[in-house]
């Protein structure tokens, strides 16, 4: 027990639920970091971990990140996250999703779930058979808030990249700005498409090399190997795959002016914010720039609770506030000498009553 409380990523989480359902084979962790601002909200990750301790670390770090993200997005929601531990074959069954839905329901609304890496809209529909504390469900029409949060996350990142380019490079247009995109899934793919429309020069990488190559062909960009993307000389490195990529080696490899992307928990450790700044690289704090999806999820959920449908125009208006929020962080960073990640953390901690 003492080892658990000493876990470096444990941050006075309100609740950490270990779930095991023998009949379906479901093993999951649900972490509720804070409900200070409202019910904790954050997606469910379905991932194979070689070491289960990695799953606990992810649940703890990602749920704290959601507290900060939701607070900074101005949402009346706290922070939580779930991780389903997949086996090596990544087998996901309807029975497992049903058992997971029961586990969410048992928390009585303290945790609201949605999609994350490895979890689709169809999976959420299955979970919704067992609990109402779920969001990211299909929508009836394009004016209604909801559905896959990925496109809203991508839209916010695209706006954030534009803001970063204006701030750091003094360029109002993305035309000819070189962006290296790591991960071309739901978020990274959406970011790449939006950047391409503005004439950005794209280099794309994914561990699924055919996926990156296909998208590069479609958008007129270049595909590179996933182990080469961080060292690609570019204006903006946009990480949209997994977290902790900004470690000593990753930062040393970077050849860019800006890091702005959607992956959660990009800094391997807190000191890596300082290491990025020491290299003169502008950093867009991940949970601020990637809040578009949770804004959609929360708008959908809160509207459904009131028996109405959320409005997609309201989601887009809230997502459009992301660049202004980033700019105020960078301004405060400049005036205080604190790095942008520390400024954002302090703002978020104040909002959730933990400063």
Catalytic machinery residues: 81
The structure tokens 């997005």 sit at: 73
Q: Does 244 bind ligand NAD (CB under 6 A)?
A: no
List C-alpha distances in Å: 114 to 61, 126, 216, 298, 326.
17, 11, 29, 10, 25
Residue 64 and residue 265: Cα distance in Å, rounded?
10
Complex with ligand NAD: residue 98 or 117, whichever CB lies closer: 117
Q: Does 80 bind ligand NAD (CB under 6 A)?
A: no
Residue 270 and residue 265: Cα distance in Å, rounded?
10
User: Residue ranges of the alpha helices (H) in the chain?
Assistant: 2-5, 52-72, 94-106, 121-127, 150-164, 186-197, 209-219, 248-253, 271-278, 286-289, 292-305, 312-319, 322-336, 340-351
Q: How far is the CB of 153 from ligand NAD (least distance, A)?
A: 4
DSSP one-letter code for 19: E
Span of 79-87, 94-102, 184-192, 347-355 interacting with ligand NAD by CB under 6 A:
184-192
The structure tokens 């950093």 sit at: 283
Complex with ligand NAD: residue 234 or 338, whichever CB lies closer: 234
DSSP one-letter code for 267: B
Give the 3-state secondary structure of residue 27: strand
Span of 32-40, 50-58, 186-194, 333-341 interacting with ligand NAD by CB under 6 A:
186-194
Q: How far is the CB of 248 from ligand NAD (least distance, A)?
A: 17
Q: How far is the CB of 349 from ligand NAD (least distance, A)?
A: 20
Q: Does 156 bind ligand NAD (CB under 6 A)?
A: no
Residues 245-274 that bind ligand NAD (CB under 6 A): 262-264
Span of 104-112, 126-134, 147-155, 307-315 interacting with ligand NAD by CB under 6 A:
147-155
Q: Does 153 bind ligand NAD (CB under 6 A)?
A: yes
Residue 213 and residue 220: Cα distance in Å, rounded?
10
Complex with ligand NAD: residue 67 or 338, whichever CB lies closer: 67
Q: How far is the CB of 287 from ligand NAD (least distance, A)?
A: 8
- What CA dihedral angle connects 10, 12, 13 and 18, to 10 degrees? 60
Complex with ligand NAD: residue 208 or 271, whichever CB lies closer: 208
Residues 88-117 that bind ligand NAD (CB under 6 A): 116-117
Size of interface with ligand NAD, in residues (CB under 6 A) = 27
CB 342 within 8 A of CB 286: no
Q: Does 183 bind ligand NAD (CB under 6 A)?
A: yes
Complex with ligand NAD: residue 14 or 116, whichever CB lies closer: 116
Q: How far is the CB of 345 from ligand NAD (least distance, A)?
A: 17
Task: For residue 267, give both structure tokens.
Answer: 């800094």
Q: How far is the CB of 262 from ligand NAD (least distance, A)?
A: 4
- What CA dihedral angle connects 302, 145, 182 and 320, to 10 degrees? -90
Q: Does 290 bind ligand NAD (CB under 6 A)?
A: yes
| CA terminus-to-terminus distance, the chain | 27
Residues 204-233 that bind ligand NAD (CB under 6 A): 205-208, 211, 226
Task: For residue 19, give both structure tokens.
Answer: 């779930």
Positions in the binding site for ligand NAD (CB under 6 A): 116-117, 149-150, 153, 182-188, 205-208, 211, 226, 240-243, 262-264, 290, 293
């Amino acid at each position: 027990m003492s080892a658990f409380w000493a876990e470096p990523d444990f941050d006075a989480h309100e609740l950490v639920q270990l779930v095991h359902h023998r009949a379906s084979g479901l093993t999951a962790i649900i972490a509720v970091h804070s409900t200070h601002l409202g019910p904790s909200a954050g997606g469910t990750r379905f991932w194979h971990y070689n070491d289960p301790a990695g799953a606990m670390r992810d649940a703890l770090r990602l749920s704290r990140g959601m507290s900060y993200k939701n607070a900074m997005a101005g949402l009346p929601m706290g922070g939580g996250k779930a991780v389903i531990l997949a086996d090596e074959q990544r087998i996901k069954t309807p029975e497992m999703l049903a058992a997971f839905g029961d586990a969410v329901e048992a928390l009585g609304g303290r945790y609201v779930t949605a999609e994350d890496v490895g979890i689709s809209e169809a999976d959420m529909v299955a979970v919704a058979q067992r609990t109402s504390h779920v969001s990211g469900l299909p929508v009836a029409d394009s004016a209604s808030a909801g559905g896959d949060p990925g496109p809203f996350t991508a839209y916010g990142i695209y706006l954030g990249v534009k803001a970063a380019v204006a701030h750091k490079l003094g360029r109002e247009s993305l035309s000819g700005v070189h962006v290296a995109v790591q991960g071309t899934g739901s978020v990274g793919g959406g970011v790449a498409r939006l950047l391409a429309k503005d004439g950005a020069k794209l280099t794309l990488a994914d561990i699924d090399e055919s996926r990156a190559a296909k998208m590069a062909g479609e958008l007129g960009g270049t595909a590179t190997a996933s182990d080469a993307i961080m060292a690609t000389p570019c204006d903006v490195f946009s990480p949209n795959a997994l977290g902790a990529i900004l470690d000593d080696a990753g930062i040393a490899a970077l050849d860019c002016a800006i890091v702005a992307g959607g992956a959660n928990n990009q800094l391997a450790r807190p000191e890596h914010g300082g290491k990025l700044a020491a290299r003169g690289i502008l950093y867009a704090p991940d949970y601020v720039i990637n809040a578009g999806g949770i804004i959609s999820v929360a708008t959908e959920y809160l509207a459904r609770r009131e028996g109405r449908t959320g409005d997609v125009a309201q989601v887009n208006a809230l997502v459009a506030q992301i660049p202004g929020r980033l700019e105020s962080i960078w301004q405060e960073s400049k005036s205080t000498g604190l790095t942008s990640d520390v400024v954002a953390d302090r703002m978020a901690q104040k909002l959730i009553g933990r400063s």
